[in-house]
A and B are shown apart, each in its own frame.
Chain A
Amino acid sequence: MVDMKGTQLIHEYLRHNKKFPHVFCAGCGHGIVLGSLIRAIHGLGLSKDEVCVVAGIGCSGRLAAYVDFNTVHTTHGRALTFATGIKMAKPGMHVIVVMGDGDSMAIGGNHLIHAARRNIGVTALILNNNIYGMTGGQCSPTTPSGSFSMTTPMGQMEQSFDCVELCSAAKANYVARGTVFHVKKLDQMIMDGISNPGFGVVEILTPCHTQYGRKNKYRTPVDMYKMLKKDVIDIERYNKLSEAEKAKKTPSGVFVQKDEPGLEEKFYEMAANCQGGA
Chain B
Amino acid sequence: MSVKRKGNSTVTIFPDWCKGCGICAAFCPAKVMELNDQGKAVVIREEECINCGFCELHCPDFAIMVRPKVDDEIPAVCRAVLEKAARRTDRPAASGGAAEKTGSGKKKE
Seen from chain A, the residues whose Cβ lies within 8 Å of a Cβ on chain B are 4-8, 10-12, 14, 16, 20-22, 24-32, 35, 180-181, 183-184, 220-222, 225
- B18 CB contacts on chain A under 8 angstroms: 21
Task: Please report the C-alpha to C-alpha distance between residue A21 and residue B63 in the assembled complex, in whole angstroms.
Answer: 9
Task: Please report the C-alpha to C-alpha distance between residue A21 and residue B61 in the assembled complex, in whole angstroms.
Answer: 6
At the interface, yes or no: B16 with Cβ under 8 Å from chain A? yes
At the interface, yes or no: B30 with Cβ under 8 Å from chain A? no
Q: Which residue of A lies closest to B17 (CB)?
A: A21
- A29 CB contacts on chain B under 8 angstroms: 60
What total of chain B residues lie within 8 Å of the partner, measured CB to CB? Answer: 29
B59 contacts A7, C-beta separation under 8 Å: yes
B57 contacts A31, C-beta separation under 8 Å: no
Contacts A27-B22, A184-B57, A222-B23 given; indicate if A10 touches B62 (C-beta within 8 A): yes
Contacts A7-B65, A8-B65 given; indicate if A21 touches B58 (C-beta within 8 A): no
- A7 CB contacts on chain B under 8 angstroms: 56, 59, 62-66, 78
Enumerate 29 A-B pairs (CB-CB under 8 Å) in ascending A order. A6-B56, A6-B57, A7-B56, A7-B59, A7-B65, A8-B65, A8-B67, A12-B77, A14-B62, A16-B77, A16-B81, A21-B16, A21-B63, A24-B60, A25-B19, A26-B19, A26-B20, A27-B19, A27-B23, A30-B60, A32-B57, A32-B60, A183-B58, A220-B22, A221-B21, A221-B23, A222-B21, A222-B22, A222-B26
Candidate in B56, B62, B75, B78 with the most chain A CB atoms within 10 angstroms: B62
A35 contacts B75, C-beta separation under 8 Å: no
Q: Which residue of B lies closest to A10 (CB)?
A: B62
B60 contacts A6, C-beta separation under 8 Å: no
> Which one, B23, B27, B78, contacts A11 given CB within 8 A?
B78
A22 contacts B61, C-beta separation under 8 Å: yes
At the interface, yes or no: B80 with Cβ under 8 Å from chain A? yes
At the interface, yes or no: B105 with Cβ under 8 Å from chain A? no
Contacts A16-B80, A27-B60, A221-B23 given; indicate if A6 touches B65 (C-beta within 8 A): yes
B58 contacts A6, C-beta separation under 8 Å: no
B19 contacts A8, C-beta separation under 8 Å: no
Closest CB in chain A relative to B68 CB, distance in Å: 11
